[in-house]
Amino acid sequence: MARPLSSRKTCAMALSNDSVNMPSSSFADGIEFEETFPESAETVTPEPMPAPVRAAAPAPARVMSPAPPRLTVVRSEPDAEPIESVFQDQLDRRLREAEALVKQTLESVRLEEEKRIVEWVRTRRDGEERRLGKWADERRASVERSIDLRSTTADNVVQRIEEMLFDWQQRFEERLDQRRMDDERLAERQRLSDEERLRAWRGELESALTQRFARTERAAKPVRDLDRDPVRDAIATAASVRDIGRILRDVLAEMAPTAAFALSLHHAGRDEVAYRYRVATDDEVGTLLRRDALDDGPQSAAAHMDGWVRAHRPVRAGARNATVHTAQLAMRVNESTVAVVTIQSEGEPIADNVLRRVAGLAVMAAPRLIELRESGAFRGA
C-alpha cells in the first residue's frame, strides 16, 4: 500500500514528454498529472477524478488520508500525434524484426530440409545402387546358367540330329543298293531275252540268206570264172584282216583323196568289235580324226542299215575350220553283218562311183573276213 504523506511536507514531480520503452506498458500510454498543496491544513474534500482517457494498467487503490492532496489533471493534447508516430515506428520495427526472424527461421528450416533431402537422396541412391548391383549380379548369373543350359541342350540336339541323319543316310544307301541290284537283275533278264530273240532272228535270217546266196552263187559262177580281177584274187589270198584293210585302202587311195579309212571286224559271239584296222593322213585333220572314236560296232546304226550311211560335221583343225564327210557301209554275208567300212574325207564328199567300187570290194571281202576271223588271223605275220 501507498504510505500517507504528511500535510506539511511538499512533493514535486518532474514531468517529461520523453517516453521509456517497456516490454508491456509505458508511461507514455498513461495520464499525465501534477499535485498541488494548499497553505492551510484544513481538510479538503478531494474532487472526484475524471475518467482516464487511456490506461494501460489498472489504477492503484485509493488510500484515505487525513489531508489528501489536490490533484489537477493536465492533458497534453498537442503531444498525441508524436505518440502515435512513435508507436507506429515501434510497431513497424517490431514487424520488421518479426519478419526478419521469420525469414531467418524459414531459411534455417529450408537449409535443414535441403540437408535432410540431400542426405535422404544420397542414402536412397546408395540403396538403389546396391539393390541394382545385386539384381544385376543375380541376372547375370541367371543368364549365364541359361546360356550354359541352352548350349548343353543345343549340343544334345545337334548330336541327335547327326545320329538321325546318319541313320537316314544308311537306310537310304541300303534302299539305293537294293534298287540298283533290282535294276541290274531286271536289265540282265531283259538283255538275255533280247539276245535270245536276236539270235533267233539272226538264225532265221542267216538260213534264209544262205539259201538265197547259194542260188545266186550257182547262177553267177560261170560269169566269175570268165571275169578275173586281181583285187579279188588279192582279197581271196589275203593272210590277215589287216591285209584286206590295206588292199581296200590302196584301191580307195587310187580313186579319190581321203582323210581316213577304217575297217572294223565284229566278234562272232559278242556285240563288240574284234579287230579294227585304221589309217589317217599325216596332217592336222588326220591327227584330229585319229583321236575321234568311231561308231562302227555291232550296235551302230550303219551295221543295221543297207547301203552307205552318210554324214558330215565341222571340225577345228589347228587354226582353220574344216568339214569332214563320213560314209559307212555294212559288210554282210547272208544278211549277217561281218564288218563295217568307214571312209572320211575333207571338204568334198566321196563320189558315188568310188562308193560303188568300194561296196563291190566289200561284198567280195566279207566271206574272206569270216574265214580269217574264225582262224584268228587279225594282224598276220
Q: How many other C-beta atoms can be found within 10 angstroms of the C-beta atom of residue 69?
A: 16
Instruction: Reduce the DSSP state of residue 339 to 3 states and report it.
Output: strand
- Give the type of residue at 94: R
Instruction: Reduce the DSSP state of residue 326 to 3 states and report it.
Output: strand
Closest CA to 278 of 290, 267, 265: 290
- pLDDT value at residue 350: 86
Residue 330: φ, ψ to 5°? -85, 130
d(CA 243, CA 378): 9
Instruction: Reduce the DSSP state of residue 73 to 3 states and report it.
Output: strand
Q: How many other C-beta atoms can be found within 10 angstroms of the C-beta atom of residue 126?
A: 10
- Edge-to-edge, what's the strand order for the sheet holding 309-317? 273-280, 260-266, 336-346, 320-333, 309-317
Surface-to-core class of residue 42, CB atoms within 10 Å of its CB (0-12 exposed, 13-18 middle, 19+ buried):
exposed
Over residues 218-260, the pLDDT tens digits come to 655 554 444 567 888 888 888 888 898 898 888 888 888 888 9
- pLDDT value at residue 108: 92
Over residues 84-127, the pLDDT tens digits come to 888 888 999 999 999 999 999 999 999 999 999 999 999 999 98
> Does the predicted model carry a pTM greater than 0.75?
no
- pLDDT value at residue 381: 58
| Class at the top of the CATH hierarchy for domain 239-375 | alpha beta
What DSSP assignment string belongs to 217-286?
HHHHHHHHHHS--HHHHHHHT-SSHHHHHHHHHHHHHHHS--SEEEEEEEPSSSSSEEEEEEEE-SSHHH
d(CA 133, CA 333): 105
Question: By 3-state DSSP, what share of the chain in percent is helix, strand and coil, each rounded to 5?
Answer: 55, 15, 30
Low-confidence ranges of the chain (pLDDT < 50): 1-34, 37, 39-45, 50-61, 63, 71, 73-74, 223-226
Query: What residue ranges in the chain does DSSP mark as E strands?
Result: 33-36, 70-73, 260-266, 273-280, 309-317, 320-333, 336-346
- pLDDT value at residue 326: 92
- CA end-to-end distance (rounded Å), the chain: 187
Q: How many other C-beta atoms can be found within 10 angstroms of the C-beta atom of residue 165?
A: 10
Cell of 120: 535422404
d(CA 315, CA 323): 6
- pLDDT value at residue 328: 92
d(CA 190, CA 184): 10
- pLDDT value at residue 168: 92
